[in-house]
Amino acid sequence: MSCKKIYYYEFTATLEEEFDSVEKATSQMNATDNAVVKEITHKNLVHSIIKKEDGNEPK
């Protein structure tokens, strides 16, 4: 029987994004696709699970 292991991570990242004005920057709530990841400061494995794959064994 085969299996898959699935990992769930939580991490903290610092992103940087450029704006044309302070007003546009203050009205933007979340980072967009234009943001660049500058640093990943924390990574935590929340949990992992092993999923059995049925039907993959020869009979």
The partner residues of 11 in beta bridges, in order of sequence, read: 43
Per-residue confidence at 39, pLDDT binned at 50, 70, 90?
very high
Q: In whole angstroms, what separates CA 19 from the centre of its chain? A: 24
Examine the pLDDT at 40 and tell me if it is beyond 80: yes
Residue 59 scores a pLDDT above 80: no
User: 28: closest CA among 37, 38, 17?
Assistant: 17
CA distances from 53 to 6, 7, 41, 49 (A): 13, 16, 35, 13
Q: For 41-55, what is each residue's pLDDT tens digit? A: 988 888 888 888 776
Q: Which amino acid is at 55?
A: G
Place of tokens 């704006």: 19
Instruction: Give the pTM.
Output: 0.55
Look at residue 19 and tell me whether its pLDDT is greater than 70. Answer: yes
Q: What is the pLDDT averaged over residues 32-46? A: 91
